[in-house]
Amino acid sequence: MPQKTLLPEAFQKRLQSQLDEKSYQAFLESYNRSPAQALRLNPLKVKNHATFQEKSPFHLKPVPWCSLGYYYHEEDRPGKHPYHAAGLYYIQEPSAMAVVEVLNPQEGERILDLCAAPGGKSTQIAGYLANEGLLIANEINYKRARILAENLERWGAKNVLITNENPDRLAQKFPEFFDKIVIDAPCSGEGMFRKLPEALSDWTENKVEQCSLMQKDILVQAATMLRPGGTIVYSTCTFSPAENEEQINHFLDQQPQFEALNITTPAYFQRENNNLRLWPHQIEGEGHYIALLRKKENPTKDLENCITIEQHPSEEKSISTKGKKAEKKQKEQENKSSTKKKNKRKQPQKKQRKHSTTSSNFVKTPSGTCQK
């Protein structure tokens, strides 16, 4: 199919500015090929990969960056097979499998998949958690949340909670709760042009801008839910710098407690300033962007933010004799009280005041004290 009728002119113009001429021509040529098809095995149900490969009727070839991923031929149609209904695998675009590989889930961790539908990232995370820890899979769209629930039910994980909430409401309930968060952000979908014709017809420069604004808000909400020392993986299936590098740079400028981490990658992944780009002309996949962010683990500086009472060196001696002085003072007060009682008997009683003064029961503190 001629490239000019396939790709929007504004999109092509921008890609020319992103890539050198050789890479740009290779990118255009990749759209003459059929999209890559892949499935990812469920480690909760498939314990032996070799046995599955032997018994399955599909033509399988490993996906290099995911040990559970396999390419299949288009005519295999694994989505129609009973194995799929049994949850033995999930059909997933191959480059999207790299996101959770970067996240690197560990058993026992608390993980949030913030934009989870239809469930590719969530099922992959659940497989690595092995029913230990907690996965919260959230989807703001109710219809898509139902699809997410169906896919996770088929997957068979026991430690998954599915939510249908706005990120800001989740942030109110889970402050600094998660060890890891994955944000496969809503985007303009430029990486889906070859696979989904509707993504191509729906694309506009205005949509890129709208998605960028939405992504900014999602990142801010996610930041509040991550514990110090935790990591966020941000990803999109688009090529737009406004939704990728520029998005991350803006976030880091606004959130100094975060830092971008290097990602160890295969040579066929393009790394640009700690960010990963998967291009369809360099891999068998539709393309992806991935960034890994860490929330710095700085201890809370209570001494700087709160009023504290510290012992002065000159007070050490007085503190050591505090008990004796207090005892002496108490005896003096008792003697004075006894003398007053004797004098009171000799003197006529005075009328009591109708209003008595009471001591206030608060301590005045300067502004800036810590509140819990």
Catalytic site residues? 237
Q: Is 45 left (phi over 0), alpha (psi -120 to 50) or beta?
A: alpha
Q: Is 116 annotated as a binding residue?
A: yes
Q: Which 3 state secondary structure label does DSSP give 75?
A: helix
Q: How far is CA 358 from CA 351, 352, 355, in A?
A: 18, 15, 9
CA pair distance 153, 217, nearest whole angstrom: 30
Q: Is 120 annotated as a binding residue?
A: yes
Say if strands 275-278 and 270-272 run parallel, antiparallel, or are unpaired: antiparallel
Partner residues linked to 112 by β-bridges: 136, 181
Q: Is 336 annotated as a binding residue?
A: no
CA dihedral in degrees (16, 233, 115, 160; nearest 10)? Answer: 150
Which residues of the chain form beta strands (DSSP E)? Answer: 38-41, 61-62, 69-71, 89-91, 110-113, 134-138, 160-163, 178-184, 226-236, 258-260, 270-272, 275-278, 288-295
**Is residue 226 classed exposed, middle or buried when 0-12, 13-18 and 19+ CB atoms within 10 A define those classes?**
buried
Residue type, 247: Q
Q: Is 50 annotated as a binding residue?
A: no
Q: Is 179 annotated as a binding residue?
A: no
